[in-house]
Each structure stands twice: as C-alpha cells, then as structure tokens.
Amino acid sequence: MTATGTRAAEADRVFAALANSTRREVLRLLRDGGPQPVQALADHFDMRRPSLSEHLKVLREAGLVSEQRNGRQRIYRLEAAPLADVQDWLHPYERFWRERLTGLGALLDRMPDDEPA
Amino acid sequence: MTATGTRAAEADRVFAALANSTRREVLRLLRDGGPQPVQALADHFDMRRPSLSEHLKVLREAGLVSEQRNGRQRIYRLEAAPLADVQDWLHPYERFWRERLTGLGALLDRMPDDEPA
DNA sequence: ACGATACGTAGGACTTTCCCTACGCGTCAA
DNA sequence: TTGACGCGTAGGGAAAGTCCTACGTATCGT
C-alpha cells in the first residue's frame, strides 16, 4: 500500500492509468527497452512532449513508474507492483473463464438455481 | 474480439470500465451472487437506480456483463472473457515482479547498461 | 384496460481527462 | 555567465465521465 488514499481509490488510479493506449505503450517501452529518459519515450508518439509528461505523471501517481534524476534528464523506470495487484484482483474471476472453456461451467451458469431474492 | 473498434480502443474500454469502484463491486456481486436483476444489484449502492443503469451500460459495452431479459427484469451475468484478456496483457510484465522478489533482478534493474540513445 | 413494477434514456450540472501553447527551473557546455 | 537543453507546470478549451431528476416503454397482476 502506498501512503495515499483508500484501497479502492488506488485501484481506481491504476485502472484509470491503464485505460489509455499512450500510457500502456509507455509501459511496454519501459518493459522492453529498460529505463529511459522522457525524450526517448516521447519520440515514439505523435504528441507534444508536455502532454507525454502529464501521462507520465498519471503513471507516477498510480505507482506504475518511478523517476530517477540524472543530470538534466529524468530516467523513468517501470514499477510492476501495481500490476501484480491487478493480477491478484483477477484471481477470483479465473474460474469463470476456465469453466467457460470446459463447457460444463457454461451450462451450469445458464441454469442458475441459487439466485438471491 | 467484438465487432467494435480496434484492439487498443477495446482495451481502453475494459480498463476504463474497471476504473470505478461501483463497477468493480457490480462484477464482484455477479461473481459471488450469480446472475441478478438490476434491482438486486442496486440495493447494494448508495446511488439512484438510473445511475447504476449507466454503469451497467459501461460494463456491457466493455463486454464484462451480458443481459438476458426475463419478463420485465433484465438479468445481468458476468462475462469474464475481457478479464482473461487483461490477464494475457499482464503476462509480459510478470517477470518484473518475480525478479523483484528474488532481489537479483532488482539489482540488475538498478544498473542498466543497455539504455537506448 | 389500469395501475404498479422494472428498467432504460434524455437532458442538465459539475468534475475530470486530454490535448495544446506558453513559460519557469535546473543543468550542461563554452 | 550566457545560451541551449531536458523537463515539469500553468492555464485554457473540447470532450467525456458521473451523478441527478424527469420521463418513456414493456410487462405483470387484477
């Protein structure tokens, strides 16, 4: 847990940060290319650099990247901990797509006999 | 893949749908309580029913729930396929939190010697 | 056929997101 | 010290998100 806000608010931030293809692409670049300064990242996008800076801020506040200052550069690094949290969040849903694959769960799912009032 | 839009736009919709605690709670209710009509879901929230209807629309357009009409009710059901897609999206990042746990990857990660220009 | 029930949609108010241009601050090279 | 470089922030405008209160539509019981 970080210092900021409730658990739900933090999940909000992480999912919202991921809900943008530019930001997901930044994560991929950091994953495949290692830690990089802003300019190197910005080269991949058809967007002004200040706009990318704002995307980086969103990623920072979600805990998905960290920055390390190096002279006049800021080296951004992928921080995967929130992604591990996402995976944990997914676990209770796993059986739903596993069942679906076997076909049995899908059938049972179509015939619910334990609905709430 | 659904019929609508590009791959990235679809990921946008799924992550954006998940970036709201009300909608995540709806998914949890459908997961733990099985398919349910709108009113049963709405009882759990401090929110007017039309607002919840809009949340359900967001979930529907992300493919995370489906509806089945039953008389004047609409039974909502969890659809986990987009969540399986999320898990697939996460896979290439897994090594980052596994490495972190061993400590070795973390150290190597702090000493990047293959940075791009 | 009538009213009640279950739900969606329309339209409005407010907030947030996402892009831009302009500018400020620290760092490096000469 | 001066100018260029690397980057963040301020402020603005268009669009989208999130809640609300009406209201419309289909279905059920009587």
Of B15, B80, B90, the CB nearest to A100: B80
Block residue for tokens 């920055």: A67
- The answer to whether B5 CB sits below 7 Å from nucleic acid chain D is no
| Two tokens, residue B76 | 């909502």
Give, for B76, the enclosing helix (H) or strand (E). Answer: strand B73-78
Say whether pTM exceeds 0.85.
yes
d(CA B63, CA B78): 9
d(CA B49, CA B79): 22
Confidence bin at A102 (pLDDT 50/70/90): low
Rg (CA), chain B: 19
Confidence bin at B95 (pLDDT 50/70/90): very high
Of A21, A86, A112, the CB nearest to B12: A21
d(CA B115, CA B50): 52
Q: Is the pLDDT of residue A113 over 80?
A: no
Of B19, B28, B33, the CB nearest to A12: B19
Judged by C1' against the alpha carbon of A73, the nearest nucleotide is D6
Weakest-pLDDT range from A7-11, A83-87, B42-46, B111-115: B111-115
B104 touching A (Cβ < 8 Å): no
Q: Which residue from B minimizes the CA distance to A12?
A: B19
Å between CA of A67 and C1' of D1 = 31
- The answer to whether A43 CB sits below 7 Å from nucleic acid chain D is no
Single-letter amino acid code for the residue at B95: R
Q: Which residue from B minimizes the CA distance to A31?
A: B93
d(CA A72, CA A65): 18
Q: Are B87 and A87 inside 8 Å of each other by CB? A: yes
Determine the distance in angstroms separating the CA of B6 from the nearest CA of chain A, rounded to an integer: 11
A87 touching B (Cβ < 8 Å): yes
Give, for B52, the enclosing helix (H) or strand (E). Answer: helix B49-61
Q: Higher pLDDT residue, A88 or B114?
A: A88
d(CA A99, CA B9): 27
Q: What is the mean pLDDT of residues A44-51?
A: 98
d(CA B12, CA A43): 22
Q: Is the pLDDT of residue B54 over 50?
A: yes
Write down the pLDDT at residue B114: 34
Q: Is the pLDDT of residue B35 over 80?
A: yes
- The answer to whether A57 CB sits below 7 Å from nucleic acid chain D is yes
**The Cα angle at residue B65 between residues B59 and B67, in degrees rounded to 5:** 115
